[in-house]
Each structure stands twice: as structure tokens, then as C-alpha cells.
Amino acid sequence: MNLGKEFLCKRELYLKDKGYKILPNQIKFHKNNIVFYHYTHSKFLHMIFSKNSGLYARRQVSCPNIPEEFNDCYLIEGFLDPLPKWLTEDYYFGNLGFEMVRRYIGNVLLRVELPMNFSGLYIADYAHILDCKHTNLRGTSPLDLGYDISNGHEATQAYVNSYIPVKKYEGKHMAPVIQIIRKEKGIAVPNKYLSVCKLQPILSEIDL
């Protein structure tokens, strides 16, 4: 079994445990609450901060073999830092992460602070997707995981398999992305947990 097959067959594995280098990353806390960051578009701010609103989960958890607990689930995503280093200076992917996500993450950074007992919090490793994208765009597979890149199904399977509950996360994903997951479409994070960050690390770049 090659390494990629292991990530396709098993769940909650870390690339670091297989000998890959990662940049330091840890969950941030404030008064025992978990803190993370989510980018949105400025045109959505009024809707997000309207009464009884918040961050709406409309993207479905999707892969060829969805774990049973994620059936009919939808999500929003966020970062552990305002601008994680793995987006711009990763050992294996350089700035490919930033090139990929800047196309859809929006231009306004929100700070999210949730109680640790908030349901549906996971951390996934976007490196599985990045390795597939790097192969398609730049012709090489830095992680050499051997995924079939013809349709992206194997990379998305490995990505979903990498979901680790926040309470179990050991800081060992290469490109950690936080997932807030709920059954069916709807508000995943009420706006009482949200604020607009004073510092906007990519606003000027995205507006160029």
C-alpha cells in the first residue's frame, strides 16, 4: 500500500507523522473559547450581521465515500490565523495555497470566537487538495502521494478523511483548515460570535 492509499483508507491521519515537514500551527484560544478567522465578501456583510443571521453553510461535505456522520451535512471554512504561512510560504507548495483560495475567499476578514463545546468543529488538511492542484498546474507532486488527478475524487476523499475534531487536534496538519459542519443548509455560526477584524491582511491585495 503506497502512502496515498493509506490516507484514502484511514481517517484522522497526519502528514507530519509520515515524515513530512510542516509549519508550526496551533489552535488559538481566548477565555477558553476557540478563535479562528473567516474571509467573506464585503457585499455580504449586511446580510451576515442582520438579525438572526450569521455565516450560512451552503457547501455540502462531498467525497466519493462520505463518512456516515457527514451525510447531508454542510459547512463553512476558516483559518487558524488571519493569513496562515502555509498559504504563502509552504515548504512544498510555496504560495500555491494563496493563489488557490484568493479566488473565492472574499475580501473581508472576520474573527470568529466559539465556545469549545460548540458542535461540528473539525480541522482538515488542505494539503491533499494542494498536492493534486500542484500536479495539474505545475506538473509535479511535491508530496508524491500518488492520487489519481483525473477527476480529483481521491484528493477530496483524503481531505474529508483528514477531518479531526478540534478537541483531538494535535497541531500536525500541513495546511489546516477549520470546518464548521451542520446538518442541512443553514446558519452554521450565529453572528453573535463574529466581528470584523481591525487588520485586513489581504484586502488591499485582493482589491488590486
For the segment 123-145, the average pLDDT, to the nearest whole number, is 93
Q: How confident is the model at residue 130 (pLDDT cuts 50, 70, 90)?
A: very high
pLDDT attached to residue 203 = 66
pLDDT attached to residue 192 = 98
What are the Cα distances from residue 163, in Å, to 80, 144, 186?
15, 21, 21
Global pTM reads 0.93
Domain ranges of the chain: 3-195
pLDDT above 90 coverage of the chain, percent: 79
Q: How confident is the model at residue 131 (pLDDT cuts 50, 70, 90)?
A: very high
pLDDT attached to residue 150 = 87
Q: What is the pLDDT of residues 168-191, one digit of tens each?
A: 999 999 999 999 999 999 999 999
Helix (H, G, I), strand (E, B) or coil at 159: helix
Residue 123 pLDDT > 70, yes or no?
yes
For the segment 143-160, the average pLDDT, to the nearest whole number, is 93
- Which amino acid, 197? C
Residue 206 pLDDT > 70, yes or no?
no
pLDDT attached to residue 113 = 97
For the segment 95-124, the average pLDDT, to the nearest whole number, is 90
Cα torsion angle, 68, 69, 72, 74, sign: negative
Q: Which of 62, 57, 55 is nearest to 112 (CA)?
A: 55
